[in-house]
Amino acid sequence: MTVLLPGSLDEALQAMASHPTALPVAGGTDLLVHWPQRPELHRQTFVDLSAVQELRPLRWTTDELVLGGLTTYWDVIEDGRVREEFPLLVEAARQIGSIQIQARGTWAGNIINGSPAADGVAALMAYDGVVVLDSTRGRSEIPLAEFYSGYKQMRRAPDELVTQIRLPRREYSVQIFEKVGSRRAQAIAKVGVTVTRSASGWRVVAHSVAPFVCRCTALERCLESEASVGSPDDLLPAIREDVSPIDDLRSSAAYRERVMARVLYYGLLEVCPSFH
């Protein structure tokens, strides 16, 4: 196995450019799962990002929160200001694995691992997060809502590193993150729903119900139009337009659809006058 150990962002981008098949390593909480039983990975070339100091800190500008390419869940949980302005990031982070996972796992790793059940991605997407990808060829900035195109399919070239995740600072009147799993602690979501409302409109994000985390534009239109909703079933047509729920080892499509409708309905009943 080969590992490259860059000490700066420039070195890391060079390493990615000169090793087209190399995999970057951040917290390792996806890459190292069952490591001894994955010999194919032991023949890989890796680029260790852990010593690239520039990537770690999160920072604030007048109109954005900018997470670094190595910012961890614990970094966010510990930041009082994030708790105030982006509470769903903290809520999602606290429900990811355990403290051992939160201390190591990164938001960028969650994005690039590309799991349909990624809790971090759902919260970032509901805040209109933008992924910043850098390479020696230049920079691209892609809204997270347009980043995925299929199961583990995304708009990232092999030499690109996520160096920032940018979130616009806004006033939110509704912020809901709901994750339904087999149990409360340390469980991957079977159904996840995240909702925000700001002057830029409603955002509804579903995770664990489709091949990738996605925005639900039919549901957003339904909320925007203030159409009357009298039961969870009234939401099913929009849900079916937005996602074709998946059958997998964690759950069935029929269960997912129903749970999503109920979670949305009861979550919004308190905050939406059009729900009764």
Partner 1 sequence: MSNEQRDRLPISFTLNDQPMRVEIDPAERLLDVLRYRLGLTGTKEGCAEGECGACTVLLDGLPVDSCLVPAYQVRGRRVETVESLDAESLATYHASGATQCGACTPGVVMTASWIVRHPEVLGRGSVRELMAGNLCRCTGYDGIIEGIEDAIPDRGGA
Ligand X SMILES: Cc1cc2nc3c(=O)[nH]c(=O)nc-3n(C[C@H](O)[C@H](O)[C@H](O)COP(=O)(O)OP(=O)(O)OC[C@H]3O[C@@H](n4cnc5c(N)ncnc54)[C@H](O)[C@@H]3O)c2cc1C
Residues that bind ligand X (CB under 6 A): 23-31, 33, 49, 69, 96-97, 101, 104-106, 108-110, 112-113, 117-120, 161-162, 188
Written as six digits, the tokens of 220 are: 């957003």
Written as six digits, the tokens of 69 are: 């390419």
Which among ligand X, partner 1, none contacts residue 94 (Cβ within 5 to 8 A by kind)?
partner 1
- Burial class of 15 by CB neighbour count within 10 A (0 to 12, 13 to 18, 19+): buried
Shortest distance in whole angstroms from residue 43 CB to ligand X: 15
Shortest distance in whole angstroms from residue 205 CB to partner 1: 24
Which among partner 1, ligand X, none contacts residue 241 (Cβ within 5 to 8 A by kind)?
none
Contacts 24+ apart (CB under 8 A), 72-77: 72/27, 72/102, 72/103, 72/104, 72/105, 72/106, 72/107, 73/101, 73/102, 73/103, 73/105, 73/106, 73/107, 73/120, 74/99, 74/102, 74/103, 76/107, 77/102
- 122, 192 contact by CB (below 8 A): yes
Using CB under 8 A, pick the residue from 58, 65, 67, 77 that binds partner 1.
Answer: 77
Q: Is 273 in the site for partner 1 (CB under 8 A)?
A: no
Written as six digits, the tokens of 9 are: 């962002």
Shortest distance in whole angstroms from residue 184 CB to partner 1: 8
Secondary element (H or E) of residue 16: helix 9-18
Q: Is 28 in the site for partner 1 (CB under 8 A)?
A: yes
Using CB under 8 A, pick the residue from 40, 62, 85, 99 that binds partner 1.
Answer: 99
Which among partner 1, ligand X, none contacts residue 103 (Cβ within 5 to 8 A by kind)?
partner 1
Binding residues vs partner 1 (CB under 8 A): 1-7, 11-12, 14-15, 25, 27-29, 32-37, 42, 46-48, 50-51, 74, 77-78, 94, 97-101, 103-104, 185-186
